[in-house]
Amino acid sequence: MIQGIVFDCDGTLADTMPLHWIAWNRIATRHGLHFPEDRFYALGGVPSRDILKLLSREQNIALDPIAVSAEKEDEYLPMLAQVQPIEAVVSVARAYHGKIPMAVASGGQKPIIEQVLVHLGIRHLFDAIVTSEDVTQQKPAPDIFLEAARRIGIAPQLCRGYEDTDLGMQAIIAAGMEAIDVRLLLKQPTRWK
């Protein structure tokens, strides 16, 4: 029986991915990086700084991943007011609020994730927020989901995780949690097997 729930944020609770893509496209153009949209979505859940390290190394372009990550967030933040909830998933969080502990586990940065949840009026639903700054190994490693389970005081095997990316699904499964692919809830195409 499920005793705790852990949700990803971007693309799972909040429809932020198209806005993040706009910000990424601007940054990639500004810094001469090749970063096609399909690759952006394939790297969903990976912190911006890690994506920038990867692109910099692959394309032999010198840049400061921390500074450029901050630039990317500066491009994204003005669009925050446009973020809408993904109701099919938010309704699950509302239904379980006060019944079992819940957490958010996001590859994003804590201040941004907090702002998104407050903007959507759902921050109060969650007992813990775990972000990329809280763990060393990022998705597809299970660390972020394991830390979320620890913070809500529920064994991982008694938790259900909600995700919208292949890397996130791998992380949930590696954590030993029941995995829900929200792309299937939303009837979006998925390559997850």
Edge to edge, what strands does the sheet with 178-181 contain?
Answer: 128-130, 102-105, 4-7, 159-163, 178-181
Does 8 qualify as catalytic in the annotation? yes
Contact 152, 4 (CB under 8 A): yes
What are the backbone angles phi and psi of residue 136, rounded to the nearest 5°? -85, -45
Rounded CA separation 142/135 (Å): 10
Q: Residues of 135-174 as b/e, b for ≥16 C-beta within 10 angstroms?
A: beebbbbbbbbbbbbebbebebeebbbbbbbbbbbbbbbb
Q: Residues of 105-119 as b/e, b for ≥16 C-beta within 10 angstroms?
A: bbbbbeebbbebbeb
* Catalytic residue (one of 8, 10, 143, 181): 8
Point out the residues that are catalytic: 8
